[in-house]
Structure 1
Amino acid sequence: MFDLHRLRLLRELKHRGTLAAVATALSYSPSTISQQLSQLETEVGVPLLEQIGRRVRLTPQAEILVEHTEAVLERLERAEADIATSLSGLSGTLRIASFQTATLALVPTALTLLREAHPALRVHVTQAESEDSLPALLARDFDLVIAEEYPGDPDPRPVELHQEDLCDDPLRLAAPTTPGTAAPHGPHGTEDPEAALRAYADHAWVMEPEGSAARRWATTLCRSAGFEPDVRFESTDLLLHLRLVELGHAVALLPDLVWNDREPTMGLGGLPRGRGSRRLFTAVRAGRSTHPAIVACRGALCRAAADTSPRTRSGALGDVVEPVEAPGRDHEQP
């Protein structure tokens, strides 16, 4: 029978890519990892790794072993969930990863609910972007991830993960305004979202970094409106995006959750139909989806999402402030 510990090391190498990364994640030395995998090769009787330059790659036989190891680990997680369900109290540690706006707007309320209902449950929270946290979930660095999906950019759905929708978060065009104005509109006061976007084609923009789902969505949105955005500021910090718009340095595309129950401080306009809302969801490994700590956390997050400001959940921010005209235009009634 193959050694489960060594099989897990092989699985770790599959997910993390290098012996050094496995060693760092598990607090072993690379030589120890290499020795353990060599012993596994002896047990299996076939090569499991092949050298490609300075890196190693799993052989087809190693890929077969990893697939079976995933099934074994999933079954063990189901056993752990069943045992936890059989107990009267909920304890242990739950590791959560969440991106910035969800961490600010939803996680604190969920933590309060969990503390009140399950005081013995220890919760660790790490702020991380979805592009990083979902692979880390598969690698077992986290137990639950709060992630986002932008319109037209669906994430892969690995069979190893169980996803549940959390809420939809409207996205809006955010532009600098004078006090008492808001909702950027198209030329001559028309409520044409693409015309509103084009009206800011010559302005500086702030967006998330290249390669992110948010950046791909935002760039596609602007190109669909007929222009290439002049991106002068890049950051994953949406509070920085907010500040740059407030001070008149840039135009941005901001989600409603960034306000976190505060009143908007800038002009906000709608986006083209079908492109103006991101999906928030939770993801866990399939074998852990019935664990009572996961069920409790998902329930608390759903309550937190439902308890956010009614205007945020309904997407009615345009009702809160008066419209502002598009820049550089005469705005006479047609």
Structure 2
Amino acid sequence: MFDLHRLRLLRELKHRGTLAAVAAALSYAPSSVSQQLSQLEAEVGVPLLEPAGRRVRLTEQAEILVAHTEAVLERLERAEAEIATSLSDLTGTLRIASFQTAALALIPTALGLLRDLHPQLRVHVTHMEPERALPALLARDFDLVLAEEYPGHPTPRPSGLEQEDLLDDPLRLALPRPAGGPGANGPMAALRSLANHPWVMEPEGTAARHWAMTLCRDAGFEPDVRFETTDLLLHLRLVEQRHAAAFLPDLVWYGHSPTVPLRQLPRGRRARRISTVVRRGRSRHPAVLACRDALLRAVTLHPVHTDRPVLRQEK
């Protein structure tokens, strides 16, 4: 029978890419990881790693082993969930990764609800964008990730993850100047009126940037992106100071009234989907269930308020 600990090291190598990354994540020496994997190769009787430049990659046989290891670990997570369910008190640590606006708008309220209902549960929250958090979830660095999906740009979901929708967060055009002027009466016209204005957007390679660039190009122009950051509060400040136009989600206000003029976007582009994502087999764990319930309650307790400063609703 193969050693489960060594199988987990092989799985870690698949998800983290290098022996050094596996060693750092597990607080091992790289030589120790290499030795353990060599012993696993001896147990299996076939090569599991092959050179790939300065790195190593998994052989076909190693990929087979990792697939079975994933199934074993999923079953063990289900066993852990059943044991936790059988206990009267919810204890242990729940590790959450969340992007900025959800962390600001929803996490504090959810933490308060969890503290009141489950005082023995330790919750650890990390600010991390979904592009990095979802692979880390598969690598078992987190138990739950708050993720976002932009309209028309579905995010690939590995088969080992399960998603549950939390809310649709409206997206709007944030104007760096008062609305009005010729050609600014419809959503596309409002976009085109900012064709020559500087923009702030999230960095290249993010789902938000891809969505925003596509929207501007569909309106007939290439945006002049002068500012790049994942910090949406900085996006807002640049719009407030009239340095840039931006696309802002309603969650950025987290219960406060907007401070800049907002314009509705074209149909089919008006909301991002926010969801909670866990590993398959983890969704019935009582800590995950409690966290998801707390987040849903946070959504209902603190709805976003954008009605007063938003310009008239176009069709």
TM-score between both structures, scaled by the size of structure 2: 0.97
C-alpha change, 1:260 and 1:322, in structure 2 (3 Å) is closer
256-265 or 67-76: which moved more?
256-265
1:159: Cα distance to partner? 1.8
Contact 2:9 2:37 in 1 (8 A): yes
Equivalent residue, structure 1, for 2:265: 271
Aligned-residue CA RMSD in angstroms? 1.3
Equivalent residue, structure 1, for 2:239: 245
C-alpha change, 1:322 and 1:15, in structure 2 (3 Å) is closer
Aligned counterpart in structure 2 of residue 320 of structure 1, from 293, 308, 313: 308
Q: How does 1:259-298 map to 2 (within 5 A)?
A: 259-298=253-292
1:305: Cα distance to partner? 1.1
Equivalent residue, structure 2, for 1:329: none
Measured against aligned partners, the alpha-carbon deviations of 1:227-274 in whole angstroms (never above 9, x if no partner) come to 000000000000000000000100000000001111111110000101
Measured against aligned partners, the alpha-carbon deviations of 1:108-140 in whole angstroms (never above 9, x if no partner) come to 000000000000000000000000000000000
Q: Secondary structure of 1:288's partner?
A: coil
Equivalent residue, structure 2, for 1:22: 22
Residue type at the aligned position of 2:252: V
Measured against aligned partners, the alpha-carbon deviations of 1:177-211 in whole angstroms (never above 9, x if no partner) come to 3xxx5xx4673552x10110000000000000000
Q: Is 1:34 paired with 2:34?
A: yes
Equivalent residue, structure 2, for 1:58: 58
Equivalent residue, structure 2, for 1:171: 171
Measured against aligned partners, the alpha-carbon deviations of 1:15-49 in whole angstroms (never above 9, x if no partner) come to 00000110110011111100000000000000000
Equivalent residue, structure 2, for 1:225: 219
Equivalent residue, structure 2, for 1:158: 158
C-alpha change, 1:195 and 1:289, in structure 2 (3 Å) is same
Q: Give 5+ residue unaligned stretches, structure 1.
A: 312-316, 325-334
Q: Secondary structure of 2:225's partner?
A: strand
Measured against aligned partners, the alpha-carbon deviations of 1:141-182 in whole angstroms (never above 9, x if no partner) come to 0000001011111111222111100000000000123xxx5x
Equivalent residue, structure 2, for 1:112: 112
Contact 2:176 2:240 in 1 (8 A): yes
Equivalent residue, structure 2, for 1:330: none
Aligned counterpart in structure 2 of residue 216 of structure 1, from 206, 210, 218: 210
Query: For residues 256 and 67 of structure 1, what CA distance do their matches in structure 2 show?
Result: 40
Contact 1:106 1:305 in 2 (8 A): yes
1:322: Cα distance to partner? 6.6
Contact 2:183 2:193 in 1 (8 A): no
Query: For residues 16 and 154 of structure 2, what CA distance do their matches in structure 1 show?
Result: 23
Q: Secondary structure of 1:50's partner?
A: strand
1:82: Cα distance to partner? 0.3
Aligned counterpart in structure 2 of residue 309 of structure 1, from 303, 306, 313: 303
Measured against aligned partners, the alpha-carbon deviations of 1:55-90 in whole angstroms (never above 9, x if no partner) come to 000000000000000000000000000000001110
Contact 1:219 1:228 in 2 (8 A): yes
Contact 2:194 2:245 in 1 (8 A): yes
Q: Secondary structure of 2:77's partner?
A: helix
Equivalent residue, structure 1, for 2:182: 187
Contact 1:186 1:193 in 2 (8 A): no
Q: Secondary structure of 2:51's partner?
A: strand
Equivalent residue, structure 1, for 2:85: 85
Contact 1:101 1:238 in 2 (8 A): yes
Equivalent residue, structure 2, for 1:146: 146
Query: For residues 93 and 182 of structure 2, what CA distance do their matches in structure 1 show?
Result: 55
How many residues are treated as equivalent by the alignment? Answer: 312
Query: For residues 131 and 124 of structure 1, what CA distance do their matches in structure 2 show?
Result: 19
Percent same amino acid at aligned positions? 73
Residue type at the aligned position of 2:280: A
Equivalent residue, structure 1, for 2:48: 48
Equivalent residue, structure 2, for 1:199: 193
TM-score between both structures, scaled by the size of structure 1: 0.91
Q: Secondary structure of 1:63's partner?
A: helix
Query: For residues 256 and 126 of structure 1, what CA distance do their matches in structure 2 show?
Result: 22
Residue type at the aligned position of 1:294: V
Query: For residues 191 and 154 of structure 2, what CA distance do their matches in structure 1 show?
Result: 23
Q: Is 1:72 paired with 2:80?
A: no
Moved over 4 A (4+): none
Query: For residues 180 and 66 of structure 2, what CA distance do their matches in structure 1 show?
Result: 54
